[in-house]
Amino acid sequence: MPHRSLVAPFSDTELEAIRADFPALGLKVRGQNLAYLDNAATTQKPAAVIEAEAAFYRTQNANVHRGVHYLSQIATELFEDARETVRRFLNAKSRREIVFTKGCTESINLVAHSWGAKFLKPGDEIVLSQLEHHSNIVPWQLIAERTGAVLRVWDIDENCDLMQGGLDELLSERTKIVALTHIANGTGTINPIKQVIAQCHAAGAKVLIDGAQAAARTPLDMQLIDADFYALSAHKLYGPTGVGVLYVRESVLEQMPPYQGGGDMIRTVSFDRTTYNDLPYRFEAGTPNVAGVVAFRQAIEYVQRIGLDRIFAHEKELTDFAVQSLNAEPDVKTIGNPKNRAGIVAFLIECAHPHDVATILDSIGVAVRSGHHCNMPLMKRLGINGTTRASFGVYNTKTEVERLIEGLKKVREIFQ
Amino acid sequence: MTFEGELSDLYQQVILDHSKHPRNAGSLDSANRRAVGHNPLCGDQIVLMLEVKDGVIADVKFQSSGCAISVASASLMSEAIKGKTVQEAELMFRKFHEMLTGACDTSSLGKLSALSGTREFPMRVKCATLAWHTLEAALNNPNQTVTTESDA
């Protein structure tokens, strides 16, 4: 992704206005203002999203794609309008390429089990990186067991960047798919996905990008990166839980068999034979999270109004400040030093285990994550059991980073 | 109690002392019971080795990696069960478990009651019980790995 250092971060007034949009940021935790630094796990929701979900249930609720009655028509229109919003957000060519799921994890499982079951043969290779979240590892292990395909791992260097030239050694005519995170949840590494996709396509391999962390942090353009599959979760993008998106290039999606069977995904059903619905409905069996999807549209429009390039610049400024401040502490070690980093910094402090650090930071209202972050292979590779992780969102402030650093003093008081 | 009070209750001196200087840490050549405990949610791990002779826990050692609560709990447990019969140790586990779920008088638990502060931190109770679940496994299903997630 290109550098966006020319885009200005937010002014104090702008940031204040943004914070006022998020009711949860007004919470007192342990008698102190909440400093929510766990955005890589999930983001808080702006009032527009919360209200849209409530308004749907109050005045728009019906099932979609079924009834001929008034409310059903309204619900269907709202649901399909949200799909169009997602299409524009991703710059996909067609709404047929946008599948709603229950989250990024289900999106990846859908690809592994539908595309993977059809196209993977014994001895075929699936390439994953050392940076992957469990949700971009385990679905591939499951399908590898079923098909006889083999997993290969793209290693990282000492900075937690993907090993230069690592892909050259892994790619061969046996490589059928490369599954790679856009932004690593454990280290904040931004992977050069455009170049990776081009290289994989030249070698005849498909590419799935796990965009769980990237969707809220950097502008996305499916035409620019030329992705085959791109997966994301609404709840990490200021939207509701229980909604995800899977983008699949139409020519690829057309060849994929249904993932789950049920209502909405069929055209005709008899006990002898079922014919399937058009794209993307063939992959949306059962009643979807209609209210969630409708509210998710508000989340996308929210970040679009602010501009993802500005959100990126804001988070970059905060992250650089956090990395610098943490590295200035002699007993603190930040994990990795990636060339391009977005919104996430993990660290260790000598005197205390990450869980104890998180409990003590919580006592002053600072919410961070501790543990392996669903990154057990990465932790093993780094020779550690876990980290404390701060991850930023559109509404975080430098003061909150300072409170985190201040909190480390309390950790030392207790543990030294 | 204020949250500040609860926090200092969680990290009492005895806990900090045992987490920094765990008693009975190491390996036990004479062990005839062994179990591995693992908390998959946070990565904490313990290897517990017991020498059980005529129904008595004659010796105990453990190796662990984890947070202050899980290391201190293993250390305190090792001191408490050494020299006790298997039945006494199992009774102790039941009382310890009741203490963390808030339903027990802690007076009979001695030093183990230092971990009672954990009950105000539901997310950390598993850190304190990992060593005990591993003990249970070592006594009843030796040479198995237990996880905190298999506990009903």
| Residue A361 at interface with chain B, using a CB cutoff of 8 Å | no
CB pairs under 8 A between A and B: 44
What's residue B143's pLDDT? 64
B7/chain A closest Cα distance in angstroms: 7
Q: Are residues A249 and A372 in the same domain?
A: no
| Residue A31 at interface with chain B, using a CB cutoff of 8 Å | yes
A98/chain B closest Cα distance in angstroms: 33
In this complex, do A30 and B3 lie within 8 Å of one another by their Cβ atoms? yes
At residue B149 the predicted structure's pLDDT band, cuts being 50, 70 and 90, is: low
Q: Are residues A313 and A237 in the same domain?
A: no
Interface test with chain B among A28, A349, A350, A356, by most B beta carbons within 10 Å: A356
In this complex, do A386 and B43 lie within 8 Å of one another by their Cβ atoms? yes
Whether A160 is a known active-site residue: answer no
Q: Is the pLDDT of residue B75 over 90?
A: yes
ipTM, two decimals, is 0.86
d(CA A404, CA A383): 25
Tell me the mean pLDDT in the region B119-140: 92
**In the listed set A304, A332, A347, which residue is the last one of a domain according to the structure?**
A304
What's residue B1's pLDDT? 63
pLDDT under 50: residue ranges of chain A: 1-4
Q: Is the pLDDT of residue B142 over 80?
A: no
Q: Are residues A279 and A313 in the same domain?
A: no
Task: Collect all residues of chain B within an 8 Å Cβ-Cβ radius of residue A367.
Answer: none
Q: Are residues A290 and A315 in the same domain?
A: no
Q: Are residues A144 and A26 in the same domain?
A: no
* pLDDT tens-digit series, residues A141-152: 999 999 999 999
**In the listed set A271, A304, A337, which residue is the last one of a domain according to the structure?**
A304
Q: What are the domain boundaries of chain B?
A: 3-141
Reported CATH class of domain B3-141: alpha beta
**In the listed set A238, A272, A304, which residue is the last one of a domain according to the structure?**
A304
Does residue A6 fall inside a structural domain? no
d(CA A317, CA A380): 30
What's residue B43's pLDDT? 79
What's residue B109's pLDDT? 86
Q: Detail the DSSP E strand segments found in chain B.
A: 33-39, 44-53, 56-65, 145-147
In this complex, do A414 and B11 lie within 8 Å of one another by their Cβ atoms? yes
Does residue A41 fall inside a structural domain? no
| Residue A367 at interface with chain B, using a CB cutoff of 8 Å | no
pTM for the whole thing? 0.93
Task: Collect all residues of chain B within an 8 Å Cβ-Cβ radius of residue A412.
Answer: none
d(CA B134, CA A271): 52
Does residue A60 fall inside a structural domain? yes
Instruction: Report percent pLDDT > 70 for chain B.
Output: 91
Peptide bond preceding A280: is omega within 30 degrees of 0, i.e. cis? yes
What's residue B151's pLDDT? 42
In this complex, do A415 and B68 lie within 8 Å of one another by their Cβ atoms? yes
d(CA A296, CA A290): 10
In this complex, do B7 and A363 lie within 8 Å of one another by their Cβ atoms? yes
What's residue A265's pLDDT? 86
Of A95-104, A257-266, B46-55, B98-107, the least confident: B98-107
d(CA A397, CA A18): 11
Closest CB to B65: pick one of A360, A363, A385. A385
- DSSP assignment of A119-173: H--TT-EEEEETT--GGGTHHHHHHHHHHT-EEEEE-B-TTSSBPTTHHHHH-ST
At residue B51 the predicted structure's pLDDT band, cuts being 50, 70 and 90, is: very high
d(CA B8, CA B15): 10
Domain span holding position A105: 50-304
Q: Which residues pair with A36 in a beta bridge?
A: A367
| Count of domains for chain A | 2
Does residue A161 fall inside a structural domain? yes
Task: Collect all residues of chain A within an 8 Å Cβ-Cβ radius of residue B65.
Answer: 385
d(CA A411, CA A326): 14
Interface test with chain B among A138, A353, A368, by most B beta carbons within 10 Å: A353
For A264, list phi and psi in degrees, rounded to 5: 75, -25
In this complex, do A354 and B67 lie within 8 Å of one another by their Cβ atoms? yes
Q: Are residues A392 and A311 in the same domain?
A: yes
Does residue A255 fall inside a structural domain? yes
Q: Are residues A299 and A316 in the same domain?
A: no
Closest CB to B68: pick one of A31, A353, A370. A353
Does residue A1 fall inside a structural domain? no
What's residue A263's pLDDT? 84
Closest CB to B67: pick one of A30, A355, A372. A355
Does residue A42 fall inside a structural domain? no
Interface of B with A in 66-105 (CB under 8 A): 66-69
| CATH number (domain holding residue A356) | 3.90.1150.10
At residue B39 the predicted structure's pLDDT band, cuts being 50, 70 and 90, is: confident
